[in-house]
């Protein structure tokens, strides 16, 4: 009965930029008989108990696809915090950006040239932060190879889960709680080094973050969207640039060795600069 909804393996669709693979079309696939995980039970405790086998499981075995989110936590408090619909991100962070711009206008007496320069600097700085976090924190292989209960869970929550279950529609954006934890050191450092300009830089950087997270969600989620004047975004997601970005990100997810290339989500420029750009699918 479910065969009519079966999408198939992601790799079967990668060369086709108009792939229908997305979090909307993903369905439950038959689980590999050798997969030690029970996806109907909270995964964090299970990956903690995998020991040294964890990294091979999360890094070298095939991703799985489910229509509904799989459970991570036994806790009734932590589990809801791990689920984040895409629209929660702009609802939370746009007011934060506006607040920082308002504070900046008070500090700099609404001097537009200073505010524009500070805001754009923060926005552009995000792209460096994006790839550094993705490459060195999210893909911190040494953490995943330690084999301890807590290190397995930490690696899994940071990014391992996303690579194992890449189409979980409620875990395609960064949960606000995790974003607060990850951004706090950068936030405090900027406040300390450049107190007068910190609000401008923070507003720009968080605008860049919104740009990144919305790209990430729709790269996974969007399938085919008919171009319409009533929906200007539809022209963007049907553009050649969007197709290139989707290909770029899907190589990272689904191609052999993809974990070590194409760390940029919202753009490919930093990958070009760092020598981590891969444009072709494996033959």
pLDDT of 166 reads: 92
More confident residue, 121 or 112: 121
pTM above 0.85, yes or no: no
The Cα 120–Cα 65 span in angstroms is: 38
Report domain extents, the chain: 2-274
The Cα 255–Cα 250 span in angstroms is: 7
The Cα 168–Cα 83 span in angstroms is: 9
Question: What is the pLDDT averaged over residues 237-264?
Answer: 91
Is the model's pLDDT at 71 over the cut of 50? yes
Contact 75, 43 (CB under 8 A): no
């Amino acid at each position: 009965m479910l065969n009519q909804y079966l999408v198939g393996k992601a790799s079967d669709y990668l060369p086709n930029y108009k792939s229908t693979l997305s979090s909307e079309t993903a369905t439950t696939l038959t689980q590999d008989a050798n997969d030690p995980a029970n996806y109907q039970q909270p995964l964090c405790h299970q990956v903690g108990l995998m020991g040294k086998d964890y990294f091979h499981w999360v890094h070298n075995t095939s991703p799985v696809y489910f229509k509904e989110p799989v459970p991570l936590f036994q806790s009734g408090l932590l589990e809801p915090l791990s689920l984040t619909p895409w629209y929660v991100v702009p609802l939370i962070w746009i007011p934060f950006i506006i607040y920082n711009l308002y504070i900046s206008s008070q500090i700099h007496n609404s001097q537009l040239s200073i505010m524009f320069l500070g805001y754009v600097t923060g926005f552009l700085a995000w792209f460096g932060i994006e790839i550094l976090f993705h490459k060195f924190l999210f893909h911190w292989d040494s953490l995943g190879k330690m084999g301890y209960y807590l290190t397995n869970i930490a690696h899994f929550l940071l990014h391992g889960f996303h690579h194992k279950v890449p189409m979980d529609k409620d875990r395609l954006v960064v949960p606000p709680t995790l974003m607060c934890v990850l951004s706090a050191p950068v936030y405090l450092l900027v406040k300390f080094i450049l107190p007068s300009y910190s609000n401008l830089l923070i507003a720009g950087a968080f605008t860049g973050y919104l740009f990144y997270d919305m790209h990430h969600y729709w790269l996974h989620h969007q399938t085919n969207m008919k171009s319409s004047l009533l929906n200007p975004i539809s022209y963007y997601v049907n553009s050649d640039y969007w197709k290139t970005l989707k290909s770029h990100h899907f190589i990272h997810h689904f191609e052999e060795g993809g974990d070590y290339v194409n760390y940029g989500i919202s753009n490919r420029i930093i990958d070009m600069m760092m020598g981590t750009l891969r444009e072709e699918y494996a033959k």
